[in-house]
Each structure stands twice: as structure tokens, then as C-alpha cells.
């Protein structure tokens, strides 16, 4: 793999650094950076790539071995009956596949990350980002909150199953079979961090574009309010002191770069995010199934609370992905509204002509977050997933009734 260096501004790198460090530690972002002058250069690291593949292979095969051993063991702790056995196999098996695929494909998709960072670099050169320290703090806080929530639920589950295993003298057997698998489970949540972080950074750049348009609209309204007739100016001079022909051209270039950054995000995270969304669907079927079985059969309260916690956690990860994309789409809609509001104003002729071209650009180059054009990430996805979950739960209860053995019994 050749070393391709991509320039990144210091401000952008300081925002990217926290989640690059975290995701790289878990094998999903095998890149490194070095400072050159006022900028940083980011490149694909052979060392981190080898580390990622080694980590992914170890987690995959050890987890698979533990799950296979528990599946066929006569003293299985988690798989007490046939229905639970196969549902658990699908639930946890999907986790291993998602993590392994995410690690394997990332180096081959790295060219799309370079496209994304290049777009950010060019946009920031035209509209310098603001509140860098605050943005970095938001990235760190959001990651810490997400990691703490996941660690809480995973630790709680390990503790409960450890107590159950300890009663049967199988504590270390359970840990041998499932500790690495639970660590792999944690890695799934790390895998999705780049997607919602990149999406949020795209939104920030759309907000910066909208701020320029909004200032132009406000200045025009102030002229109109004062009953001042705008004077025709030369092509290269400012119109109302804010919007000129050249500025509108630059705004169009920025919007084109924003569209390219969305496409690059879709291409870079496409495989991983498709597996992650499938993971959310599987877990939001399996976890409520175990929850309802426990409740209907008077199961152990702490296990009922555990399944409820997992359900809320998976709902949360789904909402983070969908809502981050939806907020970005809403901000894009504000861009459309601002451009059409400006078109209704008595702009200078050359500026108005360029604004018409901008409006055509907005209608022809829409912002869409997708995975291979098969799944669109907006709020309508929540309705589709909700319907699918209901259907699968009905099917599960047809094969194994609610009155069957509970997931965990105190006896």
C-alpha cells in the first residue's frame, strides 16, 4: 500500500483527532498524521493496517471458537433451549461478521476518505470554521457518553451471566467463551462513530454556507426597510456589501464540495454502515423477543432490566445515525429556502442570474445519505425498521410461543 499524503488544516485535524485515535485503537481507521508547517498530512499507515488485520482476525476466530463451543456444550449457560440457541447464534454471530468486515474493507476504501478530507480542506479555506475548541469538545463528550453507555450495559450483562455461571461452577468457562465476544460487541459501537462524526461535520459546513446566505438576505432586507434603492455596480464589486457575482460563484463551488463530501462519506462508510444497520435490525428483533419472553414468564427482574437496557441502547444507536443524517438534510433544506428567498429579492442582474444557476444546482445535486443507494438515512427509515421488527417478532413467537422456557431461570 503506497503512502498517499492528504493535507489537512490544523483546525480540522484537532476536531478529527479524538475519534481517529479511538477508532484506530480498535482497528477501524488505520491512518496516521504528521505535522508539516501550518498543516498536517494524513496517510494510510502500514503498521496500523497490519495491527487492524491482526486484531480483527484474533477477535473473529476467538469469538467464533467460544460461540461454537458454547453452542455444542452440554453445560451451556446462555443457550438453554433450541429457540434461544439459534436466536443467540444469529444475534452474536452477526456482531463478529460486522466487525470483521468493517476492519477488512477500510484500507480498500481509504481513497474515499482522502476525497472527504480534501473537500473539507477546500471548504475551510473559503469559509474558515469557527469555534474549533467547542467542536472538539463536542466530539469528545459525545464519544465519552456513547462509550460509557455501552460499557455500562456490557459490564452489567457480564456481571449477571458471571453470577449465573458461578452458581454452576462455570464462571471461568463462561469468561473463556464470551469475554472476547463481548469485547467484539463493544467494537461494533466504535465502528459506527466515523459515520455520524463525518455527517455532523458536513452539517457544520452547510450551516456556514447558510450563514453567508442569511447575512446577504438580512442586508438586503435592511436596505429595503430604509427605502434605499440599490445602485448597479460593476461585476466584480460587492452587491449590497455582501453578495456579489464572485461570492455567489464561490458559494456554488462550496455547495459542490459539500455534495462531493456527502458522496465520499457514503462511499467510505457504505459497507460498514449497511452491516451496522442490519445489526441494529437484528438486535432490535432479538432483544425485545427475550424481553417479552422474560416478562411473560415471570423471569428474573435483573435480566428483564438487562434486556430493557439493551433495547434502549440499540434504539439509541439507531436514532443517533438517523437523526444525525436528518439534521444535515434539514440544514440543506434551509439552504434551498434561503436561495429562493434571495431570488425573490431585487438583486443586481448578474447576481440574480447566478442565483438562478445556484437554484438549479440545488435541485439537481441533492444531499442524500445512502448505503449503495439501497437504504436512505432519514426519518422514514425508522418507520420501515419499526414495521420489520414487528413482523419478525410475530414470526419468532409463532415458532416459539411466549410460554416457552425463559431466557434465564432462577431455578
What does 69-134 look like in DSSP terms, one character per residue?
HHHH-TT-SS--SHHHHHHHHHHHHHHHHHHHHHHHHGGGGHHHHHHHHHHHHHHHHHS----HHH
Query: Is 406 part of a structural domain of the chain?
Result: no
Q: How many domains does the chain have?
A: 1
Domain residue limits at 107 = 6-399
Write down the pLDDT at residue 410. 47
pLDDT at 170: 82
50 in a domain, yes or no?
Answer: yes
* Spacing of C-alpha 377 from chain mean position: 10
| 121 contacts 11 by C-beta, under 8 angstroms | no
**What mean pLDDT is predicted for residues 258-264?**
95
Residue 404 lies in a domain: no
In a domain? residue 411: no
Which of 170, 158, 101, 125 has the alpha carbon at shortest distance from 8?
125
198 pLDDT band (50/70/90 cuts)? very high
CA atoms within 13 A on the CB side of 206: 26
Q: What is the pTM of this model?
A: 0.88
192 is a domain residue:
yes
The DSSP secondary-structure symbol of 375 reads E
Q: Is residue 323 part of a domain?
A: yes
Least confident of 6-10, 70-74, 158-162, 281-285: 70-74
**β-bridge partners, 52:** none
In a domain, 275, yes or no: yes
The pLDDT of residue 172 is 85
Q: What are the tens digits of pLDDT across the range 200-241?
A: 999 999 999 999 999 888 877 766 554 444 444 344 444 334
* Separation between Cα atoms, residue 290 and residue 1, nearest integer Å: 45
Query: Is 409 domain-assigned?
Result: no
Instruction: Give percent of the chain above pLDDT 70.
Output: 90
Amino acid at each position: 500500500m503506497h503512502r498517499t499524503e492528504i493535507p489537512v488544516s490544523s483546525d480540522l485535524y484537532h476536531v478529527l483527532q479524538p475519534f481517529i485515535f479511538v477508532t484506530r485503537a480498535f482497528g477501524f481507521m488505520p491512518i496516521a498524521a504528521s505535522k508539516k508547517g501550518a498543516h498536517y498530512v494524513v496517510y494510510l499507515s502500514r503498521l496500523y493496517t497490519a495491527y487492524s488485520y491482526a486484531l480483527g482476525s484474533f477477535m473473529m476466530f476467538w469469538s467464533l471458537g467460544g460461540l461454537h463451543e458454547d453452542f455444542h456444550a452440554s453445560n451451556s449457560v446462555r443457550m438453554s433451549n433450541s429457540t434461544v440457541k439459534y436466536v443467540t447464534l444469529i444475534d452474536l454471530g452477526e456482531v463478529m461478521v460486522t466487525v470483521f468486515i468493517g476492519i477488512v474493507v477500510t484500507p480498500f476504501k481509504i481513497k474515499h476518505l482522502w476525497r472527504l478530507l480534501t473537500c473539507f480542506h477546500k471548504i475551510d479555506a473559503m469559509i474558515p470554521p469557527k469555534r474549533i475548541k467547542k467542536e472538539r469538545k463536542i466530539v469528545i463528550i459525545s464519544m465519552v457518553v456513547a462509550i460509557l453507555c455501552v460499557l455500562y450495559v456490557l459490564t452489567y450483562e457480564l456481571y449477571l451471566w458471571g453470577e449465573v455461571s458461578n452458581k454452576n461452577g462455570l464462571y471461568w468457562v463462561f469468561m473463556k467463551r464470551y469475554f472476547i465476544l463481548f469485547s467484539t460487541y463493544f467494537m461494533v459501537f466504535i465502528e459506527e462513530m466515523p459515520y455520524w462524526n463525518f455527517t455532523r461535520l458536513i452539517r457544520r459546513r452547510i450551516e456556514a454556507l447558510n450563514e453567508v446566505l442569511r447575512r446577504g438576505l438580512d442586508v438586503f432586507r435592511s436596505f429595503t426597510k430604509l427605502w434605499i434603492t440599490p445602485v448597479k455596480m460593476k461585476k466584480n464589486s460587492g452587491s449590497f456589501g455582501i453578495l456579489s457575482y464572485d461570492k455567489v460563484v464561490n458559494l456554488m463551488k462550496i455547495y459542490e464540495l459539500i455534495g462531493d463530501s456527502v458522496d465520499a462519506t457514503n462511499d467510505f462508510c457504505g459497507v460498514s454502515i449497511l452491516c451496522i444497520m442490519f445489526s441494529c435490525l437484528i438486535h432490535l428483533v432479538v432483544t425485545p423477543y427475550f424481553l417479552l419472553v422474560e416478562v411473560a414468564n415471570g423471569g428474573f427482574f435483573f435480566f428483564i432490566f438487562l434486556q430493557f437496557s439493551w433495547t434502549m441502547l440499540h434504539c439509541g444507536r439507531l436514532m443517533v445515525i438517523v437523526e444525525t443524517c436528518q439534521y444535515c438534510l434539514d440544514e440543506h433544506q434551509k439552504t434551498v429556502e434561503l436561495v429562493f428567498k434571495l431570488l425573490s429579492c431585487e438583486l443586481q442582474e448578474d447576481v440574480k442570474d447566478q442565483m438562478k444557476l445556484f437554484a438549479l444546482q440545488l435541485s439537481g445535486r441533492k444531499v442524500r445519505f445512502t448505503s449503495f443507494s439501497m437504504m436512505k438515512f432519514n426519518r422514514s427509515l425508522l418507520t420501515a425498521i419499526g414495521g420489520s421488527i414487528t413482523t419478525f417478532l410475530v414470526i419468532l413467537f409463532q415458532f416459539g410461543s411466549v410460554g416457552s422456557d425463559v431466557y434465564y431461570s432462577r431455578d
